[in-house]
Amino acid sequence: LLPMPQKKERDSSHYKFNSFCCCSRNSGFYTLYYSREFHDGKLQRSLDSGSITALREDLLYQHLTMEGNYAELPSHIARYLE
Per-residue model confidence as pLDDT tens digits over 6-39: 666 655 544 555 545 555 777 888 888 888 888 8
The amino acid present at 59, given as its one-letter code, is L
Mean pLDDT of 33-55: 84
| pTM of structure | 0.52
Summary mean pLDDT of the chain: 75
9: three-class secondary structure by DSSP: coil
The whole-number pLDDT of residue 5 equals 60
| Structural contact between residues 32 and 59, judged by C-beta atoms closer than 8 angstroms | yes
CA dihedral 77, 20, 41, 31 (to 10 degrees): -40
Higher pLDDT, 2 or 49: 49
**pLDDT cut 90: percent of the chain above it:** 0
The whole-number pLDDT of residue 19 equals 46
The whole-number pLDDT of residue 20 equals 52
CA dihedral 40, 45, 49, 52 (to 10 degrees): -50
